[in-house]
Each structure stands twice: as C-alpha cells, then as structure tokens.
Amino acid sequence: MDKRNWKIIYENYSGAEKKALDLISAEMGAVICRDSGVYTLYVMPCEKEGAKLDKNTVVIGTYDKSRTVQKYVRRDEIPQNGYLVKVTDNAENGDLKTVIITGLTPINVFYAAADFCDDYLPTAAKVSGGLRTDAEAFDVKIPDYVSASAPKTEKRSIFTWGHPINDFKKYIDNATRCRINQLIIWNDHLPLNAKEIMDYAHEYNMELIWGFAWGWDVNGSEGIDMHNLEAVKEKIIKNFKENYLGCGDGIYFQSFTERDEDRIDGVLIAEAVVNFVNDVAAEIYKIQPDIHIQFGLHATSVKDHIEYFEKVDKRIEIVWEDCGVFPYHYLPKVEKAEDFEKTFDFTKKIINLRDRGKTGLVYKGLMTMDWTKFAHQSGRYVMGRSSDETAENDRKMLSPIWRHYTADWLVYGRYVHSFTERLHKEGSEKINLNTAAQLDGGIFFPFALLSQIMWNSDEPYEKILSKVANRKCVKMN
C-alpha cells in the first residue's frame, strides 16, 4: 500500500475541530510525509466536507454537521458526552480505509483525534520479526478499530502555579490531549497576558479559573486577625474588582485552613471560615452573579468539624485537599491499607455533605514545587512566554525527579484507580476530580495515567497502564 495515498476531509477548521485536524495532520504526517534518512518533503492533503473518498481518508467533524460522518456512523453509536473513532473499509472501494473522527461537540471531536493518534496508531503498526515499527504503520492496510468513549467524571481539572509554566500554549495543548477540561492557575498577581491565556483555553472549550488568596497570602495565614476579618474582606473585593472581574470563567481561593490545629487565637477555624467565605462570596455575587467560585479547603484543620460546611453558599464549589493518605498525599505511596480505607471513608462523608455538582477532590502524588526554594511573584508578569533556554533548563532539572514519580506510580497507581472506581460506584460522576501539580515540560507518565483514570475508571487498571505507556506523546521521565 502507498503510504502517501492518504488525505483528510474536514467539516470545520476552527476551535477544537481545528486542533483535531492539526493534531492528526502532525502525527500522521510524521510517518507519511517523510522518509527516514532521505530528503523528502510531502504534505498531508486536506479537503473540505463533500470531497470524494477516492483515497485512504480521515474524516473529521461533528456528527450533526458532517454528511460523510453520517454515511459511516449512526448517531446512537456515539455515547452521550463522548466521542467515536471508527476505522473501517471504504464503502465504495474495499482496498481503501476510512477513518471517522467524530463526536456531538467540537471538543469531543478533538478527544477522538487524540484517541486515534495516541491509542490507535501505536497499535496499528505491523509486527515484523517480533518488532512493532511505528514508521511502517501505513505501509500496509491498517486494521479496523472502534473506540466509543465517554467520561465517567464530568469535570477533570488541574490546579497549578502560574510562574513555572514556560509555554502556556503547549501546557494547555498537553492538558487537553489528556482530556482535562478545567484549568485552575494560582498566582500572587494576575499575569499581564491573562486574557490571551483565557482565549487560548477557550479554543478547547476549557474552563479557566484564576486562583488568588483570601486571607492566605505570601505569609500564609500567620498573623491574620481572626477577630477583624472585615479588613481582609475589603482587600479581597478590591483585588477582584481591579484584576479578576470579567477575566476568566471563575475564581479559586484558599483561606486560613492549611494548618494542623483546628483553632486560631481560640477561634474555631471551620466555623469562622464558613462565615467568612459566605460573607465575601455574597459581595462578589452581587458584582458578578454568574461567576463560578471555588473554595480550596484543606481538611487538616477542619476534619473533625465538617458539619459546618453544609452551610457554605450552595453556589460555591468546595474543592477539598489533604484529606488523608495517597491519592491526597504529595508522595505517591500507600504504607498501610487501613489508612487508605479511612481516607476513602472520609471522602464519602464529604461528597455527601452537599449537592454532587458542588464538590471537588484534589489528587496529589505528582510533581510539585520545592517549597524550600519557592519564591513568590513580586508583581504582575508575562506567563508562559519563556525562552527555549529557560524551558530546557527546567526540563533537565525536573526530568530525573519525574523518574522517581514514575517508579512509584507504576507500583501504587492501582490505588488511585481503585479509589476512583469506588467513587464512581458511589454515584460521584459530578464530582470535580482535580490534581495539584507542576506539569510543565510535557505529558509525563504519572499525569497521563491519572488523567486516563479520571476519564474512565471502568477500564481494568492493566489496560489503562498499557494504553498510557504505549502513547508516543508520553514521557517516562
């Protein structure tokens, strides 16, 4: 088979569908448009919807808008909120193949493209002499394939810090390729290019949330006057009006709960923080009624008083962290099974406190910041526009650290799978599953594994492990 007898037919070249076409053109083109060691320069032909399927063809488009897709796929083959990839024989010429990349929404078309590139193509290459060679994938007729997939978790998010991100576009590209649909970026000061970052995230239909402090600033909660929180409230409202109003899809905050003790100056933290948060949020809702507000809550100081959080304004999403051992702990290890079970039991309590759509859980165990060397931002800055030299410096620094995370996730990742699978059996599809991590520099194996578990924990762990390890885009360190 002539590996260059391929083309793409597309319905729309904008937004997430543009990203889908770009991804497939790049990944297939790496094999089809070049010959190893030979100076050959070919391109991947792209034709608009309505073109003939006179070659091996990849068809990209939302189901309701593409008649070509409708010719090969029934609507009920596409799962609700999901996507479909179908590799089959051409209806008119059995010697040719047709690849259908579709969903009911543009972002699901992109997820289908990622499935095709990352999960199908690595397995499509022929086996010769006991070896599977990616470069020979299109030298023969590629095998049939069907993948109809939908998320078990509706909201899959990342909490990250802004200033370690060297290239915000690559960061968002990589996150979306792993089917993340919400990004929470914490900063001491809103980046100067915040709108540009927001606009790029929206190309993927990704929700962008800006994080900033509510009584938890560069000095933590030390020195806060628990008897005069009105002054803190005024500072927050001023910051919101001047910087965050109208920028992004919502705001995330942390307050004074990241402590081991349950009181400050004799004041019960759980009770005080609920009253404080409701008071500040009420003012913000007056200014912007439809804003999405996330309350980042550390369980360490309130775990014995969770009943207070039933009283949090129902419009606010509580995002819980530090709720026990891994998957909530920075180190991806489980030392005692009984501690793991206690952690799950506590999680069941907090997800049943409020409406299911208003709770988030923060998984950890991925790359974080070195808090012994951490430096706060001294003012506004340009985020994610670093030089190649800076990005390479950080890659070299972090690569050996990622190796340790990968080793631990290979052993303990099954605990995260079990934890998430059990959450889903509790009926927690609407829970926001989040990971707090520093993920700049590529798609690293632990994050790729976690994001796939978030997407669909129904798959057996061994299948997820193999699928993720086979992805060409995934870095083991």
Q: What is the mean pLDDT of residues 170-178?
A: 98
Provide the pLDDT for residue 433: 96
Instruction: Tally the C-alpha atoms within 13 A of residue 380's C-alpha that lie toward its C-beta.
Output: 9
Instruction: Name the E strands within 198-301.
Output: 207-213, 250-254, 263-264, 267-268, 292-298
**If you average pLDDT over every residue of the chain, what do you get?**
94
- CA dist list (Å): 155 to 81, 109, 202, 379, 400: 12, 17, 15, 31, 31
Which one-letter amino acid corresponds to residue 165? I
pLDDT tens across 211-245, in order?
A: 999 986 544 445 678 888 999 999 999 999 999 99
Which residues contact residue 288 at a Cβ distance below 8 angstroms, ignoring those fewer than 6 apart? Answer: 245, 246
pLDDT tens across 146-167, in order?
A: 999 999 999 999 999 999 999 9
Is the bond preceding residue 164 a cis peptide, omega within 30 degrees?
no
Q: Are residues 338 and 297 in contact, defined by beta-carbon separation less than 8 angstroms? A: no
Say whether pLDDT at 356 is over 50: yes
pLDDT tens across 133-150, in order?
A: 887 888 889 999 999 999
Provide the pLDDT for residue 220: 47
Provide the pLDDT for residue 130: 80
Q: In degrees rounded to 5, what are phi and psi of residue 46?
A: -125, 125
- CA dist list (Å): 408 to 256, 363, 405: 32, 15, 5
pLDDT tens across 412-467, in order?
A: 999 999 999 999 988 777 789 999 999 999 999 999 999 999 999 999 999 999 99
Say whether pLDDT at 183 is over 60: yes
pLDDT tens across 241-277, in order?
A: 999 999 999 999 999 999 999 999 999 999 999 999 9
Provide the pLDDT for residue 218: 42
Compute how many other C-beta atoms are within 10 angstroms of the C-beta atom of residue 406: 20
Provide the pLDDT for residue 133: 80
Cα 381 to Cα 272: distance, rounded to the nearest angstrom? 34
Q: What is the mean pLDDT of residues 54-75?
A: 97
Compute how many other C-beta atoms are within 10 angstroms of the C-beta atom of residue 442: 17
Nearest by Cα to 172 from 445, 440, 459: 440
DSSP for residue 476: -
Say whether pLDDT at 69 is over 60: yes
pTM of the model as a whole? 0.95
Percentage above 70 pLDDT, the chain: 97
pLDDT tens across 372-411, in order?
A: 888 888 899 999 999 999 999 999 999 999 999 999 999 9
Provide the pLDDT for residue 134: 80
Cα diameter, the chain: 79
113 or 354, higher pLDDT: 113
Which value, in Å, is the radius of gyration of the alpha carbons in the chain? 24
pLDDT band at 204; cut points 50, 70, 90? very high
Which residues contact residue 333 at a Cβ distance below 8 angstroms, ignoring those fewer than 6 apart? Answer: 326, 408, 411, 412
